[in-house]
Amino acid sequence: MKRLTEIETFIMEQFWKNGALTVSELREFYPDPKPHVNTISTRVRILESDGMLGHSKEGTGFRYHAAVSREEYASGNLGRLVSNCFGNSYISAVSALVDDDRISVDELEELVRRIKSRK
């Protein structure tokens, strides 16, 4: 799955939060000064060609929608991170969180409960 740039992440966040949007509607979520509609349209078409967005015809234009959920995207990124940084070892990834005091014993126990409940 494609790794999103900062602006692509911003765009996808708008679709994940707000559902299907036209480019003009998407533009309203940008802070001032807003980029030109053609600039946004180009980014949206790139995301569509990468499989991140889909569209349906609406009047003379298109209404775009997320083709990949936030969860699917996050899962793909997590897998890439674990593969690239931890030799594809999820134990090493969680151990790094423990070593850096970024995850508590209670959180680890909750993870164990979730794993056990899946079986």
SS3 66: strand
Dump pLDDT digits (tens) for 53-71: 999 999 999 999 999 999 9
pLDDT, one tens digit per residue, over 74-96 is 998 888 888 999 999 989 999 99
pTM above 0.85, yes or no: no
Alpha carbon separation from 42 to 13, 23, 35 (Å, rounded): 17, 10, 11
Res 1: pLDDT: 77
